[in-house]
Homo-oligomer: A and B are copies of this chain.
C-alpha cells in the first residue's frame, strides 16, 4: 500500500458516483455528508473512505465522472455534418432531462465554491476546455467546408458557452420554466447571425 493509489477496478467507484448523484439531488451540496452518500451506497462510511479520503476528494472525482458521462453522450453524436453536429451539441448542452433540476442546483453551489476549492475550479475549467474544444472543432470544420462564415471560432465558442452557463445559472435562480428553451433559441439566433451570414465579406484573403 506504499504506492500512489491506482484504481484497481472502477466498479465500486461507479457505484459510489451514482450514490453521490442521488445524495446530491436529495440533500444539495451544503447538506451533503459522507454518511448520506454511504447510505445511498448501501455500505459503511469506512467503505466510502476506503476510496476517498475526504468529501472534497470524492466530489472532485464526481466532477470527473460527470465529464466522463458527458463525453459518453457526445460520442452518441455520430454525424460529421458541421451544421447538424453543432445543433446536436447545443441540444445536449441546453436540453436537460426532467430530473436534472436538483443537479443544476448542486452544480451551481459547487461552481460558487470554485474560488475557494482549487480541485473544483480545476474540474470546471477542464470541463469548460473540453466543451470549448468540441465547439471550436465543429465551427472550424464548418468554415473549412464553406458552410460557415470565416469567423473567430474561439470567440464564437466562448459566446455560446456564455449563453449555456447563463441558462444553467438562471434555471437555478429564476422562477421561470422556459430558461433552457429561451437559451436554446438565443444560441440558434446567434449561430445563424454569426456563422450563416450570406453576405460575402470574408473574401479579403
Q: Does A33 contact B (CB under 8 A)?
A: no
Q: Does A183 contact B (CB under 8 A)?
A: yes
Q: Closest residue to A183 on the B side, CB-wise?
A: B162
CA–CA, A170 and B185, complex, Å: 21
Selected interface stretch from A45-53, A65-73, A75-83, A109-117: A109-117
CA–CA, A164 and B105, complex, Å: 19
Selected interface stretch from A2-10, A17-25, A138-146, A153-161: A153-161
Chain B residues within 8 Å of A34, by CB: none
Where chain A touches its partner, the secondary structure class is helix
Q: Does A1 contact B (CB under 8 A)?
A: no
Contacting A172 at CB < 8 Å: which of B114, B128, B183? B114
Chain B residues within 8 Å of A185, by CB: 155, 159
Are A168 and B169 closer than 8 Å at their CB atoms?
A: yes
Contacting A161 at CB < 8 Å: which of B125, B170, B190? B170
Q: Closest residue to A154 on the B side, CB-wise?
A: B182
Q: Does A189 contact B (CB under 8 A)?
A: yes
Q: Closest residue to A104 on the B side, CB-wise?
A: B115
CB distance from A170 to the nearest CB of B (A): 5
Binding site for B on A (CB under 8 A): 28, 30, 105, 108-109, 111-116, 121, 124-125, 128, 155, 158-159, 161-170, 172-175, 179, 182-183, 185-186, 189-190, 192-194
Task: Contacts A108-B111, A111-B112, A190-B190 known; list 7 others, CB within 8 Å.
Answer: A28-B116, A115-B172, A124-B174, A159-B189, A162-B182, A163-B186, A189-B193
